[in-house]
Amino acid sequence: MPPKIDPTAINIVYLRAVGGEVGATASLAPKIGPLGLSPKKVGEDIAKATKEWKGLKVTVKLVIQNRQAVASVVPTASALVIRALNEPPRDRKKVKHVKHTGNITFDEVVDIAKTMRPRSMAKTMAGTVKEILGTAQSVGCTVDGSNPHDIIDKVNDGSYATRYAQLVIGPAGSGKSTYCANLQRHAEACRRRILVANLDPAAEHFDYQPVADVRDLIQVHDAMEDSELAFGPNGGLVFCMDYLAHNLDWLDNALDAVAEDEYLLLDCPGQIELYCHLPVMRQIVDYLQSREFRLCSVFVLDSQFLVDPCKLVSGLFAALSAMVNLELPHVNLLSKLDLLSRAQKRQLTDYLEPDLAHLLAEHGGPLSARYAGLNAAVVDLIDSYSLVRFVPFDVSDEQCVTDALLQVDMALQYGEDLEPQERDYEAAEGGAEHERVNGDGDCEGEIGAVGGGPQFNVEDHLDFGS
């Protein structure tokens, strides 16, 4: 007699199945029947679990306990590549030997590599990416319109290194340059390298050393003092940015200075129409993306002007307009918290993650009832884009700067493919030795740019005083 099987034990069974189809019970019965499962029921569960893989042959993992099975897909690299091609479903019984001659993007290759990383034999993320490119070549598709082997050569010579950039935008005087300078200093303390480029042709002073300064190319005074142009301040700024957009190769030296897994901060001018109405910043974004930069827009708002519901909605609309125009991951940053009084800080807690409908209702006013419908529509629009959240930024609070950088890192997916470096192990060993010497039983570490740390709480950075 066969040995009895403990129903409480966890058993794992791997099966090959066609996505979205109920397999033949005759093929399932020998594998799962001895475990007390119904082949018909398990076949239906597998069909549900693999519905997103319709027509593809995939590996299914069954976790079995107490005569219940939970099915999940364990995709192969080739299955992920074929699914990324978005080919129409086919009947595998009638259509065989299909040639997968489509095209996928390099970003899709990187996403597949992240999925396959735990099962990869490569030591580095770059090695895993090359594994996926090899799979794409064996499948028969192209990557960014090129042979995958050519892309592997580009990965080897660094042409496809992952680099990051923040587009620091917002109204004039909101603290964009201060944010860039403090973030750069903070990164140096954290052993990260962040470069800053000034894109404001009207800037007069900033506290960082720029890797590129647009004023070396053109200044607002050039457009204002030219007898043929004779622009005013706003027109001169628009002209300068348009001139930059038509001469973006000027940025190449600065972009080449950014190594793999490094940051570039673009300190942008404060004229709001550049982000909301004009195509200039969109052209700069497209150029950076063509150079394989992963971008995020950081919209900096002055906290002193956001303690009023009407001003809050106005600021959110400006941020929403910029986000829609630039089509980038977006973070709202609330600056100059160190300049607020205690009373203003207490009031500001209602605006960090606000209930707009409640705030507008409390605001009142003679026209509130008349425009109640419009206010409700405004609230629904802003809520639908999930914009009603601000990250506080206080230059005098190092932990606050760390948290702000962490929020942007999460938006950019920075660090997901970083490999531990020797200096990280040295720092960890040094910290452990310090803990042993001082006898500290437990210590609270600083939130790093990647990984864990205490739960981020916006109110932790508002020191109300006694």
Say if residues 251 and 197 touch (Cβ distance below 8 Å). yes
Q: How confident is the model at residue 433 (pLDDT cuts 50, 70, 90)?
A: very low
pLDDT value, residue 364: 58
Four-point Cα dihedral 453, 456, 461, 465, nearest 10: -90
Q: Please choose, from the candidates 298, 390, 307, the residue with its C-alpha nearest in 3D space to the C-alpha of residue 353.
A: 390
Q: Please choose, from the candidates 300, 234, 243, the residue with its C-alpha nearest in 3D space to the C-alpha of residue 267.
A: 300
3-state class (DSSP) for residue 466: coil
| Alpha-carbon gap, residue 171 to 155, rounded angstroms | 39
Side-chain half-sphere CA neighbours of 183 within 13 A: 29
User: Tokens 């960890």 sit at which residue?
Assistant: 428
Domains in the chain: boundaries:
11-74, 76-90+98-160, 163-353+389-412
CATH number of the 76-90+98-160 domain:
1.10.10.250
What's the token pair of residue 289? 């993306």
Domain 11-74 superfamily per CATH: Ribosomal protein L11/L12, N-terminal domain (3.30.1550.10)
| Alpha-carbon gap, residue 345 to 341, rounded angstroms | 6
Greater confidence (335 vs 434) lies with 335
Tens of pLDDT, residue by residue over 333-377, are 889 888 877 877 777 776 666 666 666 666 555 556 676 777 778
Side-chain half-sphere CA neighbours of 256 within 13 A: 5
What's the token pair of residue 144? 């960014």
Q: How confident is the model at residue 450 (pLDDT cuts 50, 70, 90)?
A: very low
Which residues partner with 62 through β-bridges? 13, 71
| Alpha-carbon gap, residue 302 to 340, rounded angstroms | 10
Tens of pLDDT, residue by residue over 226-254, are 878 778 888 889 999 999 999 998 988 88
| Alpha-carbon gap, residue 352 to 167, rounded angstroms | 22
Q: What percent of the chain lies above the pLDDT cut of 90? A: 18
Tens of pLDDT, residue by residue over 92-113, are 566 666 778 889 988 899 889 8
| Alpha-carbon gap, residue 59 to 15, rounded angstroms | 6
Q: What contacts 293, CB < 8 A, 6 or more positions away?
A: 163, 164, 165, 255, 258, 264
Q: How many CB atoms lie within 10 A of CB 92?
A: 14
pLDDT for residue 198 is more than 90: yes
| Alpha-carbon gap, residue 378 to 359, rounded angstroms | 13
Tens of pLDDT, residue by residue over 386-417, are 666 788 888 888 888 999 999 998 888 887 65
Q: How confident is the model at residue 443 (pLDDT cuts 50, 70, 90)?
A: very low
pLDDT value, residue 149: 92
H or E element that contains 314: helix 309-326
Q: Please choose, from the candidates 371, 416, 378, the residue with its C-alpha nearest in 3D space to the C-alpha of residue 113.
A: 416
User: Tokens 């080919």 sit at which residue?
Assistant: 87
pLDDT for residue 59 is more than 80: yes
Integer CA distances (angstroms), 56 to 72, 79, 96, in order: 15, 7, 12
Q: What contacts 408, CB < 8 A, 6 or more positions away?
A: 166, 296, 298, 331, 414
| Alpha-carbon gap, residue 24 to 351, rounded angstroms | 58
Integer CA distances (angstroms), 148 to 140, 340, 379, in order: 9, 55, 47
Which residues partner with 68 through β-bridges? 65
3-state class (DSSP) for residue 96: coil
Q: How confident is the model at residue 200 (pLDDT cuts 50, 70, 90)?
A: very high
pLDDT value, residue 441: 39
Calculate ∠ Cα 195-250-411, nearest 5°: 40
Which residues partner with 298 through β-bridges? 168, 331
**183-190: long-range pairs with CB below 8 Å, 24+:** 183/265, 183/401, 183/404, 183/405, 184/208, 184/265, 186/398, 186/401, 186/402, 186/405, 187/263, 187/405, 190/402, 190/448, 190/449
Domain 163-353+389-412, CATH among 3.30.43.10, 1.20.1640.10, 3.90.1480.20, 3.40.50.300:
3.40.50.300
| Alpha-carbon gap, residue 146 to 152, rounded angstroms | 10
